[in-house]
Amino acid sequence: MNKTRELSPLEWMIRTQVVDRGIDDAHVVEAMRRVPRDKFFKAGATELAYADQAAPIGHGQTISQPYIVALMTHRLELRPGLRVLEIGTGSGYQTAILARLAQEVWTVERVKPLLDEAFERLLDLGVRNVHFKYGDGTLGWPEAAPFDRILIAAGAPQLPRKLLLTNLKEGGKAVLPIGPQEEQMLTEVTRVGNELISKDVCACRFVKLIGEAGWGKETVKEKD
């Protein structure tokens, strides 16, 4: 009998989609183990929770596939004591993972219903080290900046230099997708003085980053 298939859906997801693909960071794996992914899906759609794919969450937005969540988290090199800015709260799943690994998380979402739902989910899960904001995430969170880490969960047309230079600490790191709508490059960025050193990670596909430092709102049509 296939022992892998005897695992719970969550453990099967972690084994086959995360660890077997090279992400064996014990801290990231444990964080994903402690966050029940199915809680971030609406009733009747929980079978999609552990699938190896992104899934719609309404309003033209998606929840990233488990591997991408793990990869972006791993690339941030999180540890206790760090302050993280997340742009694109979405369902709140990536937020919850970040909250397990960092000291505090500031998360910004431009779709109010999604932000409200994410707030309730994290509250129900007992997550208390997250600050929520409704607004244009491409402007960052100036009142709380600078941050040790930044995660952007939507595709920017180009490197958002102003956003990163005004919100990221010296020596800080950001992970974000950059490129056209059809396919982006997941990119790791490190700030060294006023320079932003970029490193390509892998091809990916995210929804568009909408806002002043991203795509114009007229370029996307939101659907419930």
How many CA within 13 A on the CB side of residue 60?
14
Rounded alpha-carbon distances, angstroms, from residue 200 to 29, 158, 197: 23, 13, 10
Amino acid code (one letter) for 53: Q
Strand partners, 55: 63
Contacts 24+ apart (CB under 8 A), 215-221: 215/156, 215/157, 215/181, 220/60, 221/60
- How far is it, in rounded angstroms, from Cα 175 to Cα 189? 6
Sign of the Cα torsion 205, 19, 95, 77 reads negative
Catalytic residue among 8, 64, 91, 198: 64
Instruction: Say whether 91 is catalytic.
Output: no
- Active-site positions read 64
